[in-house]
Amino acid sequence: MALTPDQIQQAGSVVAEAASIRAAVVLLRREFAGMQASVVDAMDIRDETPVLQLGPRAIYLAASNGHCWSVTADPARADAFILTEA
């Protein structure tokens, strides 16, 4: 699913306003049907660049080839949101 800049900003608002990072995942799954969303430890993804940094929370995008997942900076390839919280 390709994401537009407006959709990325919308996702940022959802994540920033959520009561917890886990609540943000639930809300993103609801708002963006067809997109996956998960939380990972910030240390596990520390060498990647987030698409949005929201204080202690960050949003990364991921793409899948049907078998493996990889972090992507390309919103046109995004299949999932990965969230972290420092």
Segments making up each domain of the chain, as ranges: 5-85
Q: What percent of the chain has pLDDT over 70?
A: 100
Model confidence at 39: pLDDT above 80: yes
**The two structure tokens encoding residue 36:** 């996956």
Q: How many Å from the N-terminal Cα to the C-terminal Cα in the chain? A: 27
Write down the pLDDT at residue 20.
98
Q: Which residue type occupies 85?
A: E
Beta-carbon contacts of 18 under 8 Å, excluding residues fewer than 6 positions away, are 24, 27
Tokens of 31: 């708002």
pLDDT band at 72 (very low <50, low <70, confident <90, very high): very high
* Residue 46 predicted with pLDDT over 90: yes
